[in-house]
Structure 1
Amino acid sequence: MPLPTHILPTTVVGSYPQPEWLVDRAMLSKSVPRTRMHAMWRLPAEHLEQAQDDATIVAIRDMERAGIDIVTDGEIRRESYSNRFATALEGIDADNPAMITARTGNTQTPVPRVVGPVKRRQPVELRDMEFLRRNTDRAAKITLPGPFTMSQQAKNEFYKDDEELAMVFAQAVNAEALDLQKAGADVIQLDEPWVRNNPELARRYAVKAINRALKGITVPTVVHLCFGYAAVVPGSNKPAGYSFLAELDDTIADQISIEAAQPKLDLGVLKDLSSKKIMLGVLDLGDPNIESVETVMDRIRNGLKYVAADRLIPAPDCGMKYMPRATAFGKLKAMCEAAANLRAEIG
């Protein structure tokens, strides 16, 4: 479907709340799983795919009703933004995990082990994209975990170093992205939150890995980075700036997606990304209240001080999966009304 041509098109970062009848949200709330968390699903395997399909339609319709211009499938079939793709690759042992220090720095997290050559033998998200394409007439985006982030979320027991691992993951992501493009994706997004968690390593090879992952993709592409889900990383623990951001201007991605509302980011940093469109986080997912339309308009206006209206895409700060659904819907509706008001104002 064609991408919207109006200024300030709205989108989501990726995930939308999964219903309580589908997942054990209390179990989900405790972590962002890297290995599989089969116990999270409330339905037996023989009914799970149909239930996920039904919940995906609910998520798509919520986004459409809220007024979102570029929708996703809500990542309803995923336990986390990254683990479904990462654990589906050959060479990955997710059943006998290693333990690494979590991104927040104070807990140990089970992660897959890389025990052999990493290969993508078959598509992982292709059916998800085909289902999304059949069930919306809006522009459709699908997300993939970025290769740098995947290399940081696994224990490398096979490749000579993390850079070699990241480049192999990039090849797998690229093969998947090419299939998703053929299936009708209007936008493809890589989630790369770990570039700011380990900026020294990121400076060495993150841009190279991202560019390899996006090779040959002709639809608009996005790189998303954030400080972590509000439900897992409270605002008080979030820095006021990114340690790895200007470097992303060197990627071949068309858009950079950043969390800005909750950490109250100084948007002067956007000047470092002059070649990109900016997906600007204007919904604070750490705030349990639904923002007023005026509050969101002010956040978008703040972005417009640094980025032209035809380069700005309002979005939530991050994925919305950990929020109550009514809150997520209300926040999206406020954002879409704010964008519509500003469109009329700008003319």
Structure 2
Amino acid sequence: MTAQLPPLPTMVVGSLPQPDWLIDRERLGHQFPPRVRAAELWRVPEQFLAEAQDDATLVTIRAQEEAGLDVLTDGEIRRESYSNHFATALDGLDLDNPGSVRNRSGIDIPVPRVTGEIRRPRPVQVDDVRFLRAHTDRAVKITVPGPFTMAQQAQNDHYPDDRALALAYADVVREEIADLFAAGADIVQVDEPWLQARPDVARKYGAEALTRAIEGAAGPVHVHLCFGYAAMVAERPDGYSFLPELADTPAHTISVETAQSSLDPASLRPLRGKGIALGVLDLSTPEVETPEVVADRVRRALDDVDVDKLMLSSDCGLKYLPRASAVGKMRSLARAAAIVRAELG
């Protein structure tokens, strides 16, 4: 680990709001997160886009530092969605003639169409990690979409079944994780929201695909489960449909939301022995919680987790919040951690 972490280290799940001068936030907020490329969302001409994304990422890094977070991400500033940046960089896809799947809201959306062997022609996010590592001395985390989620977000016109597709995705995720740690990542987070969204399918091969992707990683791998962005999925169940199944995977830490869903912390008990990244920021409202409100959300989970392995986080990405709200919520998270640390001695 680059920086020594305090007890109850703080971080966000991954994404942070992109500036309005960089991306059309109004348009972004009124469509489901894209699974194919959506270059039309960017406001900056292509020849200047990479430089603009770097500048916006620097602003995001500084915002996290100034808020007092212990583990920083790049805010996923260069991505149109959490998954399409990586998923569309692979070989074996027909992106010009996309397929279709029904998303978690019951709407058919365009997705990559798998027409050949899934391959990773080159590292996808290594430069992102290097940029992040070069601009902070704090611990850094990078996120990558998980194999089960990517398989559910693709139309399979090549592999014999969806399990084979998920395992092919697992192989490219494993390759990427190795390169991300070699490039300086302290933590790699694998985003697997569809394990929660499609538990019946996930129980058949979700844990198998995840294990194949993360086994033997050179550093701690976090697995993020959520109920979806609050801006897109309003109804939250009060419990996870796929959680105990993660106990036997090689995941170092499981990232869960508790603020928006009012999750009963007792449901985390099957994961004792693993780290928990506890989501304690409510992203369904731009209102900034006080540090004391956030601290209360932490306290209610302390009896059900291994406190020495507990990290504090946002429920999900902050991508769709106003930037001022995101900054305020990050500050409240850092201050809540200080409150609870003092109580625990």
Range into which the TM-score falls when normalised by the shorter chain: over 0.9
Structure 2 counterparts to residues 157-168 of structure 1, below 5 A: 157-168=157-168
TM-score normalized with structure 1 length: 0.97
CA distance in 2, matches of 1:345, 1:260: 21
Output the CA distance in 1 between the equivalents of 2:233 and 2:192: 16
2:279 equivalent to 1:289 = no
**Could you tell me whether the CA contact under 8 Å between 1:85 and 1:144 is conserved in 2?**
yes
Q: Secondary structure at the match of 2:11?
A: coil
Aligned to 2:280, the other structure's residue is in SS state: strand
Which of 245, 249, 263 does residue 247 from structure 2 map onto?
A: 249
Cα pair 1:140 1:185 within 8 Å, conserved: yes
Counterpart code for 2:56: A
- Percent identity over the alignment is 54
SS for the counterpart of 1:16 is coil
* Aligned residue in 2 for 1:16: 16
CA contact (8 A) 2:145 2:190 kept: yes
Alignment check: 8 A CA contact 1:35 1:95 kept: no
What is the DSSP-based 3-state SS (H/G/I as helix, E as strand, rest coil) of the residue aligned with 1:208? helix
Partner of 2:247, secondary structure, is helix
What is the RMSD computed on CA atoms of the aligned residues?
Answer: 0.9
Summarize deviations over 1:262-310 as a string: whole Å, max 9, x none.
Answer: 0111111110101211001100000221001110010000111211321
8 Å contact from structure 2 (residues 94, 114) kept in 1: yes
Task: For residues 187-240 of structure 1, give each alpha carbon's deviation from its aligned partner in whole angstroms, at most 9, with x where no partner exists.
Answer: 011000000111111111111111111133121110000000000111xx1110
Confirm whether residue 277 of structure 1 aligns to residue 275 of structure 2: yes
Contact 2:274 2:306 (8 Å CA) reproduced: no
CA contact (8 A) 2:9 2:311 kept: yes
Query: Following TM superposition, by how much is the alpha carbon of 1:3 offset from its aligned partner in structure 2, in angstroms?
Result: 4.4
Residue 100 of structure 1, CA deviation: 1.7
Aligned to 2:205: 205
- Match of 1:260? 258
Q: How many positions carry a matched residue from both structures?
A: 344
Aligned to 1:53: 54
The aligned counterpart of 2:232 is 232
Question: TM-score of the superposition, structure 2-length normalised?
Answer: 0.98
Provide the rounded CA distance (Å) in 1 between the counterparts of 2:240 and 2:344: 30
Gaps of 5+ in 2: none
Q: Hey, what does 2:315 align to over in structure 1?
A: 317
In the alignment, what sits opposite 2:341? 343
2:134 is aligned with 1:134: yes
Partner of 1:307: 305
Unaligned runs of 5+ in 1: none
Which residue number corresponds to residue 88 of structure 2? Answer: 87
Q: How many angstroms apart in 1 are the aligned matches of 2:39 and 2:181?
A: 29
Q: Is the 8 A contact 2:272 2:306 kept in 1?
A: no
Paired with 1:10 and 1:268, the residues of 2 have a C-alpha distance of 22
Task: Give the residue type in structure 2 aligned to 1:155.
Answer: Q
